[in-house]
Structure 1
Amino acid sequence: MKTKIFLIALLSILISSCKKETKKNTSNLESSISIKYAKGFSLKVEDGVKKLIINAPYQNTNKTFEYIISSESLESKRKINHIYVPISKMVITSTTHVPMVELLGEENSIAGFPYAKYVSSEKTRALIDDGKIKEIGKESSLNTEILLDLQPDLVVGYSVSSADKSLTTIEKSGIPVIYNGDWLEETPLGRAEWIKFFGVLYNKEKEADSIFNIIEKNYLNARALASKTEKQPTILSGAIMNKDIWNLPAGDSFVAQFLKDANLNYLWQNTEGKGSLSLSFESIFDKGANADFWIAPGYFSSKEQMLQNNQIYQQFDAFKEDKIYTPSTKKGATGGIIYYELAPTRPDLVLKDLIKITNPDLLKNYELTFFEKMQ
């Protein structure tokens, strides 16, 4: 319910601000949309032609995909690498896409989604339950037959390491496919800025820009607030995932950036890498046994579950002092973890959560959105 209130409040602010602005020439507006943080896409207007450029949308590739954005009628002959907007019927393939579509007020355009039980949002969940959004298979195996029957205007897909075979089949059938690489962004605001990608597809660039500006302002204000305190609690993260190997965020990772912006002393902040580290338990214990807080201990949702997995966790101070916080306990009606769906769109709320947990006096009236103290 609280997540829903945040989304409604943000839309209200947007609508209010839009009413106060005067209308601008469309071509000038399109040319003025800038990408400040995201590296995975860009928007250009050249000689009156709008182009959406997707850069390296999956790992281990240098491929760039360029799409011409056109407002021509969908009844006209489709052309390769042309996307006709606004999209009225879309298939999306990641829960991270859902909040961005909702903030633009376009959830009714979603026609299909894979493994829909992961979706937590109340609005989109209701559409799924009413049969208005069709199940199109699992996240790693799309049901191309169902998808083709839907005949969407566009499929927004993603892939980890190469072009997805199911999406390639869909594309060959004549349905446009575009890859979304938001998950590869290296900064919290870079991920959130992908709402501008959806703004292009719905011909709502102005609205997307306004929404992102609000999120950016909230994030930067929270970061500035955290920077004023000299108190920098030490942070441990991750857990043992395989034998005695402990996985935790690397120093240049997306998660480490959150901890840095919250003005926290993440004990592995000086390590290299943008993904995760795999370290021995001994090295973790030597450095992190006395950490003030333990943030996101792997997939665990309770202290009892942790001990069932490995009794060694109780040797850490953060475990003894009940200072473990996890996002895995806040779930939607069908079990989807809200953090994984909404956090990429609302990094400002993630940052506020971290500040509230570690320096609560800085945000006395704020209630946690994603994290909870582990019981």
Structure 2
Amino acid sequence: MKILISGLGVVKLLLFFTLHFSLFTFIACDGNKTKQAEEEGDTIPMRYARNLTIVEYPDYTQVTIRNPWDTTKVLNSYTLVNEKQGLKGEVVVPLRNAAVFTSVHCSLLMELGCQECIGGICEPEYIHIPYVHKGLKEGRIIDLGNGMEPNLERIMALQPDAIMLSPFENSGGYGRLERMGIPIIECAEYMEGTPLGRAEWIRFYGRLFGKAEMVDSLFLQTERSYLQLKEASSKAKQKPRLICETPQSGYWYVPGGQSTMGIIYQDAGTDYLFHDIEGSGSTALSIERVLDRALTAQVWLVKHHGPLNREQIVQDVPALRKIPAKIWLCDTYSSGFYEETPFHPDVLLSNLIQILHPELGIKEEKAYFCPLE
């Protein structure tokens, strides 16, 4: 039987096949993007981090960072791949040569055994890691200048796989640095509201350097240790009254009750005298307002970049002499406090519990705070 097709029918038939062939070609050419959009991945449960999401797919890992200053928005997203696939926000991992702007992340890479991946750093005067300074001297590591205004020519010469830096609110982007086409890893863990939430970001950073299993295990150890210490301190019969820090430029900056440090102080079994101060950061209070509470304090924790004695603490504000509390000093220059405690809050917690509740017999892993005689 013959089928007769009119001229108009031929046109329609050709149009049908043309459209479907074009659609097939589009899908084939754009297969990576379609694949990225349609595949279902395994979401890694974040137990404490509120601004971080990690989803693992067969061929890549999707990382999304929520904007901590506007939680309705995304700060950045990354697609971690083993080789270039043309995906959005692509970062080829493991990183082999990174520009690391902050000392805390340099310290983390040392812990993960990835120190050879540190290709460039900023502000070496604030990094107290012998390996880094030896690398600078030998030319294996490049000094990229100030973290807020890095030397772009040196970054271009380094050709890093990625740049790790800490973002700030209303920074307005990264200008020429952003236009260099190098992935910028925004390390926003410091904006998490809890010690374990901040520490959990190690699970993201480890995946950048091919250490997924290692960092997952490390975090579980940190979590277990922290919760055990918190439980132990809750059994203490007394809660020493605690204050912290010293006046600066006419104000006394204290961590709020819901800040990372405020929570650690309370988890250590103290009556933190500023627990009712709202906010997840530090709050500037008048010296008089702090003194109203400080006159009943039993423990006074002070952090300072270098050695300090009691007379130096009180000399500018004579009224501080009235505070009866015993002073414990953390020399942040030599102790590694800022480099180590963000990802190991349990170590700091053990030190604080030993100070506040020696009767519990908690063995501290490291003494960040030491008594000031």
Q: 1:121 to 1:172 in 2, by over 3 A?
A: same
1:45 Cα deviation from its structure 2 partner = 2.8
Greater Cα offset, 262-271 or 145-154? 262-271
Please give the alpha-carbon distance, in whole angstroms, between the structure 1 residues aligned to 2:209 and 2:153.
26
Matched pairs, number: 332
Identity, in percent, stands at: 27
Q: Structure 1: how far apart are the matches of 2:58 and 2:344? A: 35
Residue matched to 2:333: 331
Aligned to 1:110: 118
* Aligned mate of 2:199, from 177, 192, 207: 192
Candidates 342, 345, 349, aligned match of 1:344: 342
- 1:54 equivalent to 2:60? Answer no
- How many Å separate the matches in 2 of 1:275 and 1:82? 33
Q: 2:75 aligns with which of 64, 67, 72?
A: 64
* Bigger Rg over Cα: 2
Counterparts in 2 of 1:127 and 1:40: CA distance versus 1, 3 Å: farther
> What is the alpha-carbon distance in structure 2 between the residues aligned to residue 235 and residue 370 of structure 1?
17
Corresponding position: 1:354 with 2:338: no
8 Å CA contact retained: 2:43, 2:55: no
Matching residue's letter, 1:198: Y
Please state how far the C-alpha of 1:186 moved relative to its aligned partner. 0.9
Aligned counterparts, 1:284-323, within 5 A: 284-296=290-302, 301-318=308-325, 323=326
Report if the CA contact (8 A) 1:59-1:160 is conserved.
Answer: no
Q: Is the 8 A contact 1:191 1:345 kept in 2?
A: yes
Q: Which has the higher contact order (CA 8 A, sep 6+)?
A: 1
Tell me which residue corresponds to 1:10.
Answer: none
**Structure-to-structure mapping, 1:113-152, within 5 angstroms:** 113-152=121-160
Opposite residue 40 of structure 1, the aligned amino acid is: N
- My pick for the range that moved more, 294-303 or 308-317, is 294-303
Counterpart CA distance in 2 for 1:191 and 1:303 is 32
Q: Which residue of 2 aligns with 1:8?
A: none
For 2:224, what is the secondary structure of its paired residue? helix
State the alpha-carbon separation in 2 of the partners of residues 50 and 355 from structure 1: 39
Cα separation, partners in 2 of 1:80 and 1:163, compared to 1, 3 Å? farther
What per-residue deviation string (whole Å, max 9, x for no partner) do you get for residues 113-164 of structure 1?
Answer: 1011211234444333433221101122111110111001111122222346
- Does residue 170 (structure 1) correspond to residue 177 (structure 2)? The answer is yes
CA distance in 2, matches of 1:168, 1:79: 23
User: Deviations along 1:17-42, whole A, 9 cap, x unmatched?
Assistant: xxxxxxxxxxxxx9374321112221
Output one character per residue of 1:235-261: Cα deviation in whole Å (capped at 9) or x when no partner.
Answer: 012222233x32211111111100111
* 1:91 aligned counterpart, secondary structure: strand
> 1:267 is matched by which residue type in structure 2?
L
1:5 is aligned to none
Supply the AA of the counterpart residue of 2:98: M
2:97 is matched with 89
Render the CA deviation track for 1:225-284: whole Å, top value 9, x for unaligned. Answer: 1111111101012222233x3221111111110011111100121221112222233322
Distance 1:175 1:78, change over 3 A: farther
SS at structure 2 position matched to 1:317: coil
| RMSD over equivalenced CA pairs, Å | 2.4
Cα contact 1:57–1:158 (8 A) shared by 2:
no
**Please, what TM-score do these two structures have when normalized by structure 2?**
0.82
Q: After superposition, what is the alpha-carbon deviation per residue over 1:71-93, rounded to whole angstroms, capped at 9, x for unaligned?
A: 11xxx586651011111111111
Query: Does the 8 A contact of 1:60 with 1:161 survive in 2?
Result: no
Determine which of 194, 214, 227 is the counterpart of 1:220.
Answer: 227
